[in-house]
């Protein structure tokens, strides 16, 4: 694929800070290379409704520091069927599009691969705060979400220390505990619970009691939603430890806010590289960050392989929490 081509971009699944920066990079790189850029509104559902929107340089001005996605996003049941994929492929070709950039998580990547299998050129950019995409060191939005969790944890620690209380803070991560692990390490949590590593309530209670014996005025437990739910865990700990345990569920606040400088730069680099891949005639690849380099690797690897937490980080967090 050479210059002068028409490239569409969509954001799909859960939003993440930095998606707008990636869209901006896709649009401006496409135009710089002599092509035309189009935004697809509301993800794959919008694609099935032919919701294409021409995007010029000015259309993506002022969005670099905005959270969420100005294109909108959704989860499409229609697209999850073979008929839906065929319809989407037909619509893309009928609209004279030459390539599609999909920004999202593993479900969005599966959709991009299905479009490739249907005969249309598509590439993926990882946009998910869970950071559960294999093959890349980080996904767009992960760093911003970490900063949000760390800030909230610091505020909770202030009141926990004042009242000498134990708090359970629940963060996102159904299958991957990256947010909990990295946030717990960065925020100095006393205990981190993730779905990848088994734990016992007795060990958690022992950690709480050990801190109390050495005069610590607070205990912070950060738990990934896939490991336990905060309210149930707090009740069990209260019963076992013999004192009231408070809870905080951060929920969707983790998704919002202006993207960090790191997420903006990473999103910009990935967006530009995605266009380069399509312009060069390559399809079915995902963008990744590996040791500070932007790389392209097979799209299927991103969702068929499991993202692995680093065991040494988990051990480090346990040691530093003593």
Q: CATH number, domain at 26?
A: 3.40.50.450
Strand spans (E) along the chain: 6-11, 36-40, 52-55, 99-104, 122-126, 166-171, 191-193, 219-224, 245-249, 285-290, 293-298
**CA 65, CA 24: separation in Å to the nearest integer?**
11
pLDDT attached to residue 25? 98
User: 155, 171, 164, 152: which is closest to 244 by C-alpha?
Assistant: 164
List pLDDT tens digits, range 128-187: 999 999 999 999 999 999 999 999 999 999 999 888 899 999 999 999 999 999 999 999
pTM of the complete model: 0.94
Domain CATH code at residue 232: 3.40.50.460
- Measured in whole angstroms, the distance separating CA 123 from the mean position of its chain's CA atoms is 17
Q: Which two tokens stand for residue 119?
A: 């005969």
Question: Which segment, 2-11, 197-206, 302-311, is predicted with the most confidence on average?
Answer: 197-206
Q: Is the Cβ–Cβ distance between 254 and 149 less than 8 Å?
A: yes
* In the predicted structure, residue 307 carries a pLDDT above the cut 90: no
Tell whether 99 is covered by a domain: yes
Are residues 245 and 270 located together in one domain of the fold? no
Q: Is the Cβ–Cβ distance between 156 and 193 less than 8 Å?
A: no
Tell whether 310 is covered by a domain: no
Q: Which two tokens stand for residue 253?
A: 């606040």
Tell whether 177 is covered by a domain: yes
Tell whether 313 is covered by a domain: no
Tell whether 246 is covered by a domain: yes
Are residues 37 and 120 located together in one domain of the fold? yes
**CA 196, CA 201: separation in Å to the nearest integer?**
16
**Annotated active-site positions, please?**
130
Are residues 34 and 112 located together in one domain of the fold? yes
User: 209, 216, 261, 257: which is closest to 237 by C-alpha?
Assistant: 209
Are residues 237 and 290 located together in one domain of the fold? no
* In the predicted structure, residue 3 carries a pLDDT above the cut 80: no
Q: Is the Cβ–Cβ distance between 296 and 273 less than 8 Å?
A: yes
Q: Which two tokens stand for residue 303?
A: 């969702």
Which H or E run contains 158? helix 142-163
User: 118, 88, 33, 116: which is closest to 285 by C-alpha?
Assistant: 116
pLDDT tier for residue 213 given thresholds of 50, 70 and 90: confident
Are residues 23 and 155 located together in one domain of the fold? no
Tell whether 318 is covered by a domain: no
Q: Produce one character per residue of 212-245: b if its CB has 16 or more CB atoms within 10 Å, e if not.
A: beeeeebbbbbbbbbbbebeebbebbbebbeeeb
pLDDT average, residue stretch 306-320: 90
pLDDT attached to residue 83? 96
* In the predicted structure, residue 9 carries a pLDDT above the cut 70: yes
Are residues 83 and 215 located together in one domain of the fold? no
* In the predicted structure, residue 1 carries a pLDDT above the cut 80: no
pLDDT average, residue stretch 290-307: 92
**For residue 90, what are the domain limits?**
6-141+259-304
Which H or E run contains 58? none
Are residues 191 and 212 located together in one domain of the fold? yes
Tell whether 319 is covered by a domain: no
Tell whether 317 is covered by a domain: no
pLDDT attached to residue 128? 96
List pLDDT tens digits, range 94-140: 999 999 999 999 999 999 999 999 999 999 999 999 999 999 999 99
Are residues 228 and 272 located together in one domain of the fold? no
Are residues 106 and 117 located together in one domain of the fold? yes
Q: Which two tokens stand for residue 177?
A: 């505990």
pLDDT attached to residue 297? 97
Are residues 148 and 213 located together in one domain of the fold? yes
Are residues 162 and 227 located together in one domain of the fold? yes
**CA 221, CA 254: separation in Å to the nearest integer?**
17
Are residues 30 and 124 located together in one domain of the fold? yes
Q: Which residue has the tokens 């801190």?
A: 211
pLDDT attached to residue 308? 84
Q: What percent of the chain has pLDDT over 90?
A: 87
Number of domains observed in the structure of the chain: 2
């Amino acid at each position: 694929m050479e210059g002068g081509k028409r490239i569409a971009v969509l954001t799909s699944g859960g939003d993440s800070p930095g998606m707008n920066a990636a869209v901006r990079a896709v649009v401006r790189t496409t135009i710089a290379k002599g092509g035309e850029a189009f935004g697809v509104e509301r993800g794959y559902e919008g694609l099935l409704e032919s919701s294409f929107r021409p995007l010029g340089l000015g259309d993506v001005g002022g969005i670099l520091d905005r959270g969420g996605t100005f294109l909108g996003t959704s989860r499409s049941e229609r697209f999850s069927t073979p008929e839906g994929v065929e319809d989407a492929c037909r619509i893309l070709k009928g609209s004279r599009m030459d390539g599609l950039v999909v920004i999202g998580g593993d479900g969005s990547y599966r959709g991009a691969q299905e479009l490739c299998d249907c005969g249309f050129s598509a590439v993926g950019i990882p946009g998910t705060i869970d950071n559960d995409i294999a093959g890349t060191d980080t996904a767009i939005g992960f760093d911003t979400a970490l900063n949000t969790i760390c800030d909230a944890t610091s505020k909770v620690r202030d009141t926990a220390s004042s009242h000498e209380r134990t708090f359970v803070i629940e963060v996102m991560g159904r299958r991957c505990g990256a947010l909990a692990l990295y946030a717990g390490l960065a925020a100095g949590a006393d205990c981190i619970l993730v779905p990848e590593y088994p734990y016992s309530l007795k060990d958690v209670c022992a950690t709480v009691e050990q801190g109390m014996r050495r005069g610590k005025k607070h205990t912070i437990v950060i738990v990934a939603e896939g490991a336990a739910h905060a309210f149930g865990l707090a009740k069990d700990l209260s019963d076992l430890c013999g004192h009231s345990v408070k809870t905080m569920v951060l929920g969707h606040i983790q998704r919002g806010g202006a993207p960090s400088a790191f997420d903006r730069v990473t999103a910009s680099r990935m967006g530009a590289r995605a266009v380069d891949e399509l312009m060069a005639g390559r399809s079915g690849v995902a963008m990744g960050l590996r040791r500070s380099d932007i790389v392209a690797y097979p799209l299927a690897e991103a969702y068929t392989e499991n993202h692995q937490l680093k065991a040494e980080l988990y051990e480090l967090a346990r040691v530093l929490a003593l």
